Structure 1
Amino acid sequence: MRKNCQAIRSHGGQTGSVTTGRDRLRELLDAILDEDNETLEDMAADAFASPFHFTRQVSRDVGESPVALRRRVLLERAAWQLGGGASVTDTAFAAGYGSVEGFSRAFSRAFGHPPSAARRALDRTGHWLRASNGVHFHPPAALWVEDSPRGRSDMDPTALMLRHDLDDTRELLVLAGTLDEDEYRRVREPGLTVLSWDGPEESIAAVLDRLVWSKEVWLASIEGEDMPQQGGDEPAELLRRLDVVASRWLGTVREIDRRGAWGDTVIDALCEPPESFVVGSIVAHVLTYAAHRRQLARHWLRAVAPGGATTAGHGDPIEWLQRGG
C-alpha cells in the first residue's frame, strides 16, 4: 500500500467528512497507510501535522486511532495475502511485525485462528475485521472510500458488480496459476469466439487474457490514448496487469458517476473507422462480457484445477459479499 494508491474501502460505516475526490481525510488515510510511515510520528509528518493533532483529527473523523487503524488494515491485508497462498513469514514482515511469533499472536487475537488456518477460513469468515467506521482493506490495490454527493451507496448494483468482477477475476487467475502449462493452454472448444473482433478464445489462457485486455483497451478509448501494448498471458503476468488496470478502471468509472456523465459520448479512435459510444453502454458492455468470460473460464477450471468445483466456486456476487466483499 503506497501513498495515493487505493487500499481501503468504506463499507456502510460513518466516515466523517469523506467526499468524492481528494479531501483532508483522504490525505490522512494515505499518510496512515503509506508503507514508509511505520510510526505515529512518520504518519503525522507526512500529513503536515503534529502527532497530537493528527491523532485527534483521525480519531474524530474515523472513530479509530491512526495506529489502531493501520494495524487492523494491515492485518486484513495479511489475511487476504495468506488466503492467496503467501507464506506466514513473508506476510508477517510485510505487515510490519519484527517476528513471526509477534505477528501470529496479533493475528490469532484478531481473527480467532492462527495464520496457518487463514486459507481454510477465508471463504467462511472473509478477511475483514469488525470496524464501526466501515474502513477496510480491499484487494487488489484499493484506498476506496466510497461516497457520493448524490448519496450513492457502494451497494449500488453497478458499484457492486464492478468490484465483484475484479475480485472474481483475480481469484480465477490465482486458481489458473495452479495448472501446468499444457492444461492452461489446451484448446477446449475449437473455434470458440466470444466477440468477433477479439478472435478465438479456445483455452483458459485466452479467456483470462481477454478479461484483462478488454479493460485495458476500453480505458485507452475512454481516455483518448493510443492502443495499449498487450502483455503476456501467463497467470502471474495477468495478475500484474490486473493490479495495474483495476485501480484505473475503478477510478475512471467513479469519476464518470461523480460527473453524472453516463450519457456522454466517447469517440473511439482505436476503431477503424472511429466510432462513437455512449459511456454507460461501454461499462455495461465490459461487465456483460466479463461475466460471460469468468463463467466460461470457471466451467473449464472446475474440470482440471485442484479441488475442482470447490475451489472454482460459483462466481456468485451474493456469496462474494457474504465473505466480506
Structure 2
Amino acid sequence: MTEPTTESPSGRDRLRELLDAVLDEDNARLSEMAGQAHASPFHFSRQLSRDTGESPVALRRRVLLERAAWRIGQGSSVTDAAFEAGYASVEGFTRAFARAFGHPPSATTAGSGRWLPAPNGVHFHPPIHLWVEEYQRGRPSMDVTALQTHHDVDDTAHLIRLAAALPEEEYRRVREERTVLSWDGPEGSIAATLDHLVGTKESWLADTPGRGADDPESLRIRHERAGARWIAVVTDIGRRDAWGDRLIDALCDPPESFLLGGVVAHVLTYSAHRRQNVRHMLREAGVEVDQGDPLEWLPERYEAPRKRGDTV
C-alpha cells in the first residue's frame, strides 16, 4: 500500500477520514483502522501521529474514555460504559478511568469535566460522535482568545513544575505582602500565588466549594483537571459565540450577573499578572526562568507536532 495523501479520493478531508477510521466502533485494532483508511498500519500510524501529535491507539482510548464519562454522567451504568468503551472487564475500565480523570467512574456526575488533556483539538462532544476544534496539524487555533487560554494553562503547568524543585521553606516564604484582588486575600509566596492561579479557574468552573492542598503535587493534579475543563469551556463559548451570555454568581452577596466574555477576560488578565509574580519570586529563590512570553511559546507549540511526526 502507498502512503496516504492529504487529499482524499472521495473529496473529504483526509485527516477526518483517518479520525473516522480510528473511532469506528468496529476498528479495535490498528490493522483494522488502517484497513478502513486504505493504508498500511505503519503509514496510517505515522500520518495520524504527525497530524495530531497522538498515536491512533492513544487517541481512540482517550476519546472513548471521554464518551464513557459523558455516558455515566447521563445515567449510564459503569458496566455498560465499560463495554461500550471496548474494555473486556469493568475492573480494567475502572483502573484506566481513574488514572485518566483522577476519580473512579462512580464519582462522575453530569457536571464533571469530561475532556482529557490532549495535544490536539479532538474530543468527544455530545450529541455528535466527535468534536474537532479548529486546528492545523495538531496546532492550536489562531483565535487570539484560544491562544491566550492555551498559553495560560501551559505556562501555569510550567511554573508548577519549576516550583516543585524548591525546598519547602523557599516555596512557602512570604516575600512581599501582596494582594492582587481584595476578595482573594494575600498571596505573597510562591505557594499562595500558584494556589490562586489554580483556584480561580476551579471557582469559575464551580469544581469545588473550597480549594484543595497547595503542595506542588496537589497543585499539579488540580491544575490538570481544571486546566483541561477551562480550555473546553472557553472553546465551547467561542464555538457558540456566547461571549454575551450571562451567568449568575450566587456566592456573591447580593448575587451578581457577569458576561461570559468578561469572566474569561478577568481570568486571563489576573492569571497573566500572577504568573509574572511567580516568575519574580522564582528568580529571587535562585531559579532560572524564562519570560513567559507568548511570542516565544507560540513557535514551539506550532513546531512541536511536526517534530513529533518526523520521529514516528
> Do they fold alike, i.e. is TM over 0.5?
yes
What is residue 104 of structure 2 aligned with on the other side?
A: none
Residue 228 of structure 1 deviates from its aligned partner by 3.2
Task: For residue 267 of structure 1, give the secondary structure of its aligned residue in structure 2.
Answer: strand
2:165 to 148, 155, 178: 178
Task: For residue 324 of structure 1, give the secondary structure of its aligned residue in structure 2.
Answer: helix
Q: Distance in 2 between matches of 1:43 and 1:70?
A: 21
Q: Distance in 2 between matches of 1:56 and 1:287?
A: 44
Whether the 8 Å contact between 1:28 and 1:58 is mirrored in structure 2 is no
Whether the 8 Å contact between 1:170 and 1:242 is mirrored in structure 2 is yes
Whether the 8 Å contact between 2:157 and 2:223 is mirrored in structure 1 is yes
Matched residue type, 1:69: L
What is residue 5 of structure 1 aligned with on the other side?
A: none
What is residue 44 of structure 2 aligned with on the other side?
A: 65
Whether the 8 Å contact between 2:197 and 2:271 is mirrored in structure 1 is yes
Task: For residue 45 of structure 1, give the secondary structure of its aligned residue in structure 2.
Answer: coil
Aligned ranges for residues 155-174 of structure 1 at < 5 Å?
155-174=142-161
What is residue 256 of structure 1 aligned with on the other side?
A: 237
1:174-217, CA deviations, whole angstroms, 9 ceiling, x for partnerless residues?
A: 10011100000001102x11011111101010000100000010
Aligned ranges for residues 116-195 of structure 1 at < 5 Å?
141-145=118-122, 147-148=133-134, 154-190=141-177, 192-195=178-181
Residue 66 of structure 1 deviates from its aligned partner by 2.9
Residue 155 of structure 1 deviates from its aligned partner by 1.4
Residue 234 of structure 1 deviates from its aligned partner by 0.8
Q: Distance in 2 between matches of 1:58 and 1:209?
A: 48
Whether the 8 Å contact between 1:148 and 1:258 is mirrored in structure 2 is no
Unaligned runs of 5+ in 1: 1-12, 32-41, 76-138
1:215-241, CA deviations, whole angstroms, 9 ceiling, x for partnerless residues?
A: 010112xxxx7x534111111111111
| 27 and 187 in structure 1: CA distance in 2 versus 1, 3 angstrom threshold | farther
What is residue 218 of structure 2 aligned with on the other side?
A: 237
Aligned ranges for residues 93-112 of structure 1 at < 5 Å?
none
1:273-308, CA deviations, whole angstroms, 9 ceiling, x for partnerless residues?
A: 2110000000000000000000000011012144x2
RMSD across aligned C-alpha pairs, in angstroms?
A: 3.7
Q: Distance in 2 between matches of 1:275 and 1:58?
A: 57
1:256-281, CA deviations, whole angstroms, 9 ceiling, x for partnerless residues?
A: 11111110011112222211000000
1:213 aligns with 2:212: no
Aligned ranges for residues 294-309 of structure 1 at < 5 Å?
294-306=275-287, 308=288
1:292 aligns with 2:277: no
Residue 27 of structure 1 deviates from its aligned partner by 5.8
1:54 aligns with 2:54: no
Residue 54 of structure 1 deviates from its aligned partner by 3.1
Task: For residue 231 of structure 1, give the secondary structure of its aligned residue in structure 2.
Answer: coil
| 178 and 14 in structure 1: CA distance in 2 versus 1, 3 angstrom threshold | farther
Task: For residue 239 of structure 1, give the secondary structure of its aligned residue in structure 2.
Answer: helix
Q: Which stretch shows the higher mean deviation, 283-292 or 235-244?
A: 235-244
Q: Distance in 1 between matches of 2:186 and 2:14?
A: 45
Q: Distance in 2 between matches of 1:30 and 1:166?
A: 28
What is residue 268 of structure 1 aligned with on the other side?
A: 249
Q: Give the TM-score, by structure 1 length.
A: 0.58
Q: Distance in 2 between matches of 1:188 and 1:14?
A: 57
| 323 and 43 in structure 1: CA distance in 2 versus 1, 3 angstrom threshold | farther
Q: Distance in 2 between matches of 1:241 and 1:28?
A: 34
Q: Give the TM-score, by structure 2 length.
A: 0.61
Unaligned runs of 5+ in 2: 1-5, 56-115, 123-131, 303-312
Larger relative contact order (CA 8 Å, sep ≥ 6) = 1
Task: For residue 248 of structure 2, give the secondary structure of its aligned residue in structure 1.
Answer: strand
Task: For residue 187 of structure 1, give the secondary structure of its aligned residue in structure 2.
Answer: coil
Q: Distance in 2 between matches of 1:52 and 1:302?
A: 50
Task: For residue 44 of structure 1, give the secondary structure of its aligned residue in structure 2.
Answer: coil
Residue 142 of structure 1 deviates from its aligned partner by 4.4
